[in-house]
Amino acid sequence: MIRHKTDGLNVTASEIAAAFSAPAWASKYPPVLTLDQAAELIQVPLQTLYSWRSRGLLNGCSRKVGKHVRVFRDRFLHHIFNKGLTP
């Protein structure tokens, strides 16, 4: 099993907020993202996010809304950079 974990990288909530304080970034990546936006934000293929979600690796930072999946931007980035992607 491959574990995707970032050791020693602890991104704070204020660092995440600061990254999106510029109006251009805030409008391109709002607080609630589509899967397309989330994939673009971290520069991975969309299919990778579908795979991570189906394996439960995005629990706590994504939610199904009707037939659409939405990702909470700040939780998502905190999860990716601080907790890594472990089942």
The pLDDT value given to residue 1:
40
The pLDDT, as a whole number, for residue 7 is: 57
pLDDT at residue 2, rounded to an integer: 43
Distance from C-alpha of 13 to C-alpha of 75, rounded to nearest angstrom: 9
Q: What is the model's pLDDT at position 9?
A: 74
pLDDT of residue 84: 76
The 10 Å CB-count burial string (b at 16+, else e) for 68-85 is ebbbbbbbbbbbbbeeeb
User: What's the whole-model pTM score?
Assistant: 0.82
Res 70: pLDDT: 96
Q: Specify the pairing of strand 68-72 against strand 62-65.
A: antiparallel
Q: pLDDT digit of tens for each residue in the chain (87 aa)? A: 444 444 557 888 899 889 899 999 999 999 999 999 999 999 999 999 999 999 999 999 999 999 999 999 999 999 888 877 765
**pLDDT attached to residue 10:** 82
Q: Map out the domains of the chain as residue ranges.
A: 31-83
